[in-house]
Structure 1
Amino acid sequence: MSTIKEVAKIAGVSITTVSRVINNRGYINKETRQKVEKAMTAIDYYPNQIARALQKSQSYLLGVIVPDSNHPFFSELIRCVETYANDQNYKILICNSLGNSEKEANYISMLRQNRVDGIIMCSHTLDLDEYKKVKLPVISFDRIISPTIPYVGADNFRGGELATEHLIQRGCKRLLHISGPLKIDLLPNRRSDAFRLTCMKHDTPCRVIEGEPFKLTFDYYWDFIEQEVSNYLPETDGVFCSNDILAYALYIYATRHGIRVPEDLKIIGYDYHSFTRMLQTPKLTTIKQPIDRIGNALCSKIIQMIEGKNDNLLNNAIVDVELIIGDTT
């Protein structure tokens, strides 16, 4: 079996330099890195990850719990997290809670048993006290859990403000917001706050309809529109949706029922993930969350916590959002 000493000898560098290349630690110039990597390839050397983990009491594993990895937003977020983690020599374990609190609790237990170094929490079905019991570095996406658990999110209030202002500027007089689950205190609820306040500022009649938590499929949204939203559409000329799949479902429903978009009804979504970017007809007007920046922030901050490089009490991050104007407003 090849050894690190052989790699160092072939590359003409010290064992310490080889170790720094393997662990991606410290500055190594491009030429030296290439020599080490070429030497590793020549003798088929692979670092013993298990031995490294035991030596450092680290697994170099991160747990990522999401509501549904099949959803375009979370699949793109996972890709961004995985890319950043890989650059730092970490691997990820992906868990789908599917909006089930028991599954989420079981996954947390499983991740602890598998000695992950930290958990990125993107699913929030449990009570806050349950998260506080986790004796690992934890970072949250879009939820404030406690002062000792940092969070990352986009500027949800600004997103709601941008969406509502845009609809009013487009001439809408009777607005509707289809929100996410307001019963759970999540940062995206600030979108609804901004919607109401902006409508009040412009003296514009408005209504909020609350969606069910953690049901993220097109079929659910279609049924929800039929059962909960359709009766309000004749008296509505602008709708701010909590996500792009809901906005697209509303567009299809409206056009099938003789409601012209954007002439009769203007629709704006939220997210601007891969699904939205692929749509050509229509091109949705939406609020862009910078998923790459969110993913990088989640991963970099959890690694900083694991490696003791940052004070997690001050490790929160809110990233900017942007209005993307399409064909639906």
Structure 2
Amino acid sequence: MASIKDVAKEAGVAVATVSRVMNNRGYISKETRKKVEKAMDALDYHPNQIARALQKNQSFFIGIIVPDSNHPFFSDLIKYVEMSANEKNYKLLICNSLDDPKKEANYISMLRQNQVDGIIMCSHTMNIESYKKVPFPIVSFDRFISSNIPCVGSDNYRGGELATEHLIQLGCKRLLHISGPLDLDILANRRRDAFVITSMKHGVTYDIIEGAHNKLTFDYFWSFVTENISPAQLREYDGVFCSNDIVAYALYIYAEQQGIRVPEQLKIIGYDYHSFTRMLQSPKLTTIMQPSDRIGVMLTNTLLQMIESADGELINNTTVDVTLIKGETT
């Protein structure tokens, strides 16, 4: 079997250069990287991952805990986390908590037993003190936990502000916000805060209906919309800001079934712009895009920076910009 020294000799570079290419660390020119990769292919060289892990006292596995990988936003997010981790030679273990605190705790224990190097936490059903006790690096998505657990998320307040201002600029006078679970201390609830503050600033009448706790499917949101908003109630509003695109789409279908024309009589705006939204042919939802690709890369890079930091340096929180995507529902 070829060794790393054989690869270095074949490529005409130092062993340290081959190591940097394999670990994707430090500056390597494109030309040098191609020479090393060509040499590895020519010699059919495959790094010994077990030996590498033992040498560095790392497993090169990371975990990600999400509420439900079937939800399009989290499905997209997992894809970009996996792609980013793979570029750094890390593998990903995926866990679905289904917003169950006991299941979430069991997954953290399982990941600890499997000696993962760190966790990306996208499910937040446990109390804050429980996360602080986890003995390896954690990066949180959309929730501030503590000063030594960095958070990555989109600018939720700005997203709520953009959505509400857009509806008001289009002439809406009576607004409704269908929110997520407001009892959880998560940054997504800043969308609700922005909706309230912006509506009050413009003197617009508004209402809020609190949304789902643990179901992220279309069937659930369809039931939620039809059970919580009567046709007569829906006719009282001329603009609705939904906490995600699936509930926005469910609301659109419900309104159309009741003979309420969208956007002429009712304007609807969602949140996420994930693969589900982009796949829809009709209607094209007006929505707020939180870029799952950039968030996934930032979550992964932040976690790996913590894992590979020799001195345990504190990593800053990261906020990713959001964008209004104009569609056919406003």
Smaller-chain TM-score bracket:
over 0.9
Distance change >3 Å, CA 251–CA 163, structure 1 → 2:
same
Where do 1:79-90 residues align within 5 Å? 79-90=79-90
User: How far apart, in 2, do the equivalents of 1:234 and 1:13 lie?
Assistant: 72
CA contact 2:225–2:251 (8 Å) conserved in 1:
yes
Shift of 1:175: 0.6
Q: Does 1:291 align with 2:292?
A: yes
Bigger drift between 229-238 and 53-62 goes to 229-238
1:113-143 CA deviation, whole Å, 9 max, x = no partner? 1111111000111111111110111010011
User: How far apart, in 1, do the equivalents of 2:208 and 2:258 lie?
Assistant: 22
Amino acid in structure 1 at the alignment position of 2:286: T
2:245 aligns to what?
A: 244
**Gapped runs of 5+ residues in structure 1?**
none
Calculate the aligned-residue CA RMSD, in Å. Answer: 1.5
Amino acid in structure 1 at the alignment position of 2:93: L
2:108 aligns to what?
A: 108
2:204 aligns to what?
A: 204
CA contact 2:119–2:138 (8 Å) conserved in 1:
yes
1:48 aligns to what?
A: 48
Shift of 1:190: 0.6
TM-score normalised by the chain length of structure 1: 0.96
Bigger drift between 18-27 and 67-76 goes to 18-27
User: How far apart, in 1, do the equivalents of 2:280 and 2:239 lie?
Assistant: 21
Shift of 1:274: 1.1
Distance change >3 Å, CA 311–CA 199, structure 1 → 2:
farther
Shift of 1:312: 5.6
2:166 aligns to what?
A: 166
User: How far apart, in 1, do the equivalents of 2:203 and 2:11 lie?
Assistant: 72
User: How far apart, in 1, do the equivalents of 2:142 and 2:16 lie?
Assistant: 41
Shift of 1:106: 0.8
Q: Does 1:179 align with 2:179?
A: yes
1:61 aligns to what?
A: 61
Amino acid in structure 1 at the alignment position of 2:96: N
- In structure 2, the residue corresponding to 1:158 is in which secondary structure? helix
User: How far apart, in 2, do the equivalents of 1:42 and 1:256 lie?
Assistant: 63
* Structure 1 stretches of at least 4 aligned residues deviating more than 6 Å after TM superposition: none
1:321 aligns to what?
A: 322
Shift of 1:5: 2.5
1:270 aligns to what?
A: 271
User: How far apart, in 1, do the equivalents of 2:94 and 2:38 lie?
Assistant: 32
Bigger drift between 211-220 and 23-32 goes to 23-32
Shift of 1:181: 0.3
- In structure 2, the residue corresponding to 1:188 is in which secondary structure? helix
Shift of 1:69: 1.1
- In structure 1, the residue corresponding to 2:64 is in which secondary structure? strand
Distance change >3 Å, CA 309–CA 266, structure 1 → 2:
farther
CA contact 1:149–1:312 (8 Å) conserved in 2:
no
User: How far apart, in 2, do the equivalents of 1:25 and 1:161 lie?
Assistant: 40
TM-score normalised by the chain length of structure 2: 0.96
Q: Does 1:305 align with 2:306?
A: yes
User: How far apart, in 2, do the equivalents of 1:33 and 1:51 lie?
Assistant: 23
1:85-111 CA deviation, whole Å, 9 max, x = no partner? 111221111111111111111110111
Amino acid in structure 2 at the alignment position of 1:328: T
Amino acid in structure 2 at the alignment position of 1:215: K
CA contact 1:304–1:310 (8 Å) conserved in 2:
no
Q: Size of the alignment, in residue pairs?
A: 329
User: How far apart, in 1, do the equivalents of 2:77 and 2:116 lie?
Assistant: 19
User: How far apart, in 2, do the equivalents of 1:25 and 1:238 lie?
Assistant: 50
Amino acid in structure 2 at the alignment position of 1:62: I
Shift of 1:309: 6.9
